[in-house]
Every structure is written in structure tokens, then in C-alpha cells.
Amino acid sequence: MKERLHPFQIIILIYMIQSGVGLFSLPNKLANTYGTNGWIGIFILSIIAIINISLIAFVVKLANGKDLFQLYESVLPKILIYPLYALLAFQWGIFGIFVTNKFILLLKMLYFPTVSTYIFTFMLLLLTFMLVKGGIYHIGKATVIFFYLTIGTTLLLFFHLKEFRFLRMTTFIFKDGNDFIIGNLDIFFSFLGYELVLLLIPFVEASKKWMRYVVYGNLLTTLVYGSVCFVSFGFFSYKQVSNDLYPVLTLLEYTKFPFVERIENLIFTLFAMKVLITIVMYYWASVTCMNRILPSLRDEVVTFAMIGITFLISLSASVMSEVDLWLKYLGYIETCLAFGLPLSALGCIAIIGWRN
């Protein structure tokens, strides 16, 4: 019998893909986009993500077990399919490497200013290579382990409640916000990742109801995001949140234990596991696309090649501002893919039905 992803693994996988480095600056972006009580904006964007997931679920229902590749190959000629797969592969691979660079630069800036970034990058990419070549089932099992190791860090929010004040939130809702459209796009990047489920269709149960677990994963992400941002807006003043680029890191610095010094170092290190799963899943999607173009090559060869090529591309950005700019435009493309891929799949299903 072929191994399948368990529903619980799907929930955790979606949560771990979505919850990445964007969490550190999320309250700041909400404050600058929505204004006062901007934490409410998380739930608005979560609803948009759920609508998009519902569109993907509609595709899964009509596809009758076919994945995205099978739908495309049933309609499009090879002269179009191969360039499309190559573009998707490089989009996901490059997105993964710049998420890696973002986390590594934060790590260097905060805790290891004298250590070369290449050391940390090599370590993360080595772990990525080992997980991706193992396949989606091994990734799913590793994700559950990493989830149990990291989810407890959310409980640290209770240490900030004694300094929490509702007065700091003010009675105004969405006042003083600006750059609403671009700001919402930047915040929505933190919900991206669920679109990769279009590639998971062959690896889940035959039941068409498995997509509800993707929604549950998104709701878990919303709960964590909402809790962190709610505490941030009550712990800091609105001006502090809007001026602090990484308010979540500042929250961690306020956490004190009598038996552990510099607890934020430990938490940030644990957070690397969540970032790793985000990187791994985007590289897994990239390698899956390349396998359709080069089916005769072994997964290890394709994985090593994609990691090597995208790493060379990432050398064009060495400072945080350049990495943020890359992630900004790659995020715009990924948002278009999140809505465009299910719509294109629906078009393929319509053409197949018309032919029949």
C-alpha cells in the first residue's frame, strides 16, 4: 500500500509553511497598514486566504484525483509545459533561498555579527537537501516533530500579560493607516504556502474532504498570528509598534527566566525549525516541477542542482535591504500564483470536459 499523508500532518504542514520569518515584523506591518488596532487585519486576510483555499478545494473536487501536472499535460502542448514547469521551479526555489538568506541575516545581525553567513547558509541548505531528497512523507514526519518542539514557544506570550494594557490599543480602529493595498500584499505574504497543496494531491487520501485540513492549518496559523499581534499591540504603544521593525524580537527580549539567561537566543534557534520547513517545502515543490521535465534524473541530483543554482542567484543580494526587495517581488509573484494556479487548473478541467 502506498503511504499517505495523515490529516494531522497536513494541518501541521500548512501551519509550518506559513509561519516563517514574516512573523517577526508582522505587528509592525499591521500597524503601518491598518493603523490603530491593526491586529484585527490578520483575521481579514485570513478570510481571503480561506476563500482562495476554497477555490483550490473546488479544483480538487472536480479533478477526480488528478494533480496540477496531470491537468496541464492533458491540455497544453509540451512546448508550453516545459517552460511553465521551469518557471515554477525557479520561482519556488529562488523564493526558498531568499527566505533562507532573510533568516540568516537576522541571525547574524542579532546574535553572531562576526560569523560568516555562509556557515549558517551551508548548514540550513544541507538540512534542506537531506529532507527534500527523502520525499514528502519524510518531510511530513519531520514537520510533526519540529511542530512539537516549537509550538510551546507560543506560551511565552503569557509572560507579557502582566504588562499588557488595553489602554495602549486606544478606542480607535484602523486610524492612521497608510499604503493600504501594498501593505496588505506585504502582510499576505505571511499566509502564503497553502498553494503548494495543489502538488500534494497524489500523496493524500482519496477522499475529497482532505482539503478541510488545509483550512484547519490556516486557522491554526491565524490563531498564532492573532495572539502574537494582539499581545504586541497591548504590550507596546501604537507608536512603538509602528516604529519597531521587529516587535516580536523585542517581545522575546522582555522574557526573563531565573534559570536561563538570554532566552531569546534559544527561542530564535528553535524558530529555525519552522523556517526550515518553509524552505524545504518550496524546494520540494521546485524539485517536483523539475522532475516532470527531467524524469530520468535521480531526485538527489535534481535537488542538489536546484539548491546550487538558486544559491548562486542569491549571491546577488548580500544585505538585508536587497534581500527584502527580492522577497517583496517574489512575494508578489507567489501571490499571483496562489490565485492563478487554481484558476488555470479550472480552465484545464473545463477544456477536458468540453473535449469529452
Give 230-255 as a DSSP string: HHHHHHS-HHHHHH-S-HHHHHHHT-
Give the 3-state secondary structure of residue 176. strand
What whole-number distance in Å separates Cα of residue 33 and Cα of residue 20? 20
- What pLDDT does 248 receive? 86
Average predicted confidence (pLDDT) for the chain: 88
- What pLDDT does 126 receive? 94
What whole-number distance in Å separates Cα of residue 269 and Cα of residue 190? 20
Mean pLDDT of 161-174: 82
- CB-CB contact of 63 with 344 (8 Å): no
- What pLDDT does 225 receive? 94
Burial 26-43 (b: 16+ CB within 10 A, else e): bbbbbbbbbbbbbbbbbe
What residue type is 321 in one-letter code? S
Looking at the DSSP bridge assignments, the partners of residue 35 are 176
DSSP state of 110: H
What residue type is 80 in one-letter code? L
140-144, 174-178, 232-236: which has the minimum mean pLDDT? 174-178
As given in the structure block, the three cell numbers for residue 351 are 477544456
What whole-number distance in Å separates Cα of residue 224 and Cα of residue 109? 25
Q: Which of 210, 195, 192, 196 is nearest to 284 (CA)?
A: 196
Mean pLDDT of 134-161: 85
Percentage of the residues of the chain whose pLDDT score is greater than 90? 46
Mean pLDDT of 231-242: 88
- What pLDDT does 111 receive? 78
User: Is the Cα dihedral 202, 208, 209, 211 positive or negative?
Assistant: positive
Mean pLDDT of 197-205: 86
- What pLDDT does 19 receive? 85
Q: Which of 170, 188, 172 is nearest to 180 (CA)?
A: 188
Percentage of the residues of the chain whose pLDDT score is greater than 70? 96
DSSP state of 38: G
- Under the banding of pLDDT at 50, 70 and 90, the label for residue 116 is confident
Q: Which residue did the predictor score with more confidence, 207 or 145?
A: 145
Q: Which of 198, 187, 204, 237 is nearest to 25 (CA)?
A: 187
28-37, 113-122, 145-154, 255-264: which has the minimum mean pLDDT? 255-264
- What pLDDT does 99 receive? 93
Task: Give the highest mean pLDDT range of 171-180, 229-238, 328-337.
Answer: 328-337
What whole-number distance in Å separates Cα of residue 337 and Cα of residue 345? 11
As given in the structure block, the three cell numbers for residue 170 are 486606544
- What pLDDT does 207 receive? 58
Mean pLDDT of 315-343: 91
Task: Give a three-class secondary structure readout of 269-316.
Answer: HHHHHHHHHHHHHHHHHHHHHHHHHCCCCCHHHHHHHHHHHHHHHHCC
8-17, 162-171, 240-249, 333-342: which has the minimum mean pLDDT? 162-171
Domains of the chain and any CATH numbers? 7-355 (1.10.4160.10)
- What pLDDT does 2 receive? 62
65-74, 197-206, 255-264: which has the minimum mean pLDDT? 255-264
For the cut 70, the answer to whether the pLDDT of residue 189 exceeds it is yes
84-88, 174-178, 183-187: which has the minimum mean pLDDT? 174-178
What whole-number distance in Å separates Cα of residue 217 and Cα of residue 200? 15
Question: 56-79, pLDDT tens digit by residue?
Answer: 999 988 888 788 898 998 888 888
Give the 3-state secondary structure of residue 64. coil
Q: Which residue did the predictor score with more confidence, 272 or 220?
A: 220
What whole-number distance in Å separates Cα of residue 320 and Cα of residue 221? 26
For the cut 60, the answer to whether the pLDDT of residue 1 exceeds it is no
Enumerate long-range contacts of 106-113, CB under 8 Å, 24 or more apart: 106/21, 106/24, 106/246, 106/320, 107/268, 107/272, 109/320, 110/249, 110/268, 111/265, 111/268
Q: Which residue did the predictor score with more confidence, 34 or 20?
A: 34
Which burial class, exposed, middle or buried, applies to 186 when counting CB atoms under 10 A from its CB (0-12, 13-18, 19+)? buried
Mean pLDDT of 84-110: 92
Question: 293-302, pLDDT tens digit by residue?
Answer: 988 888 899 9
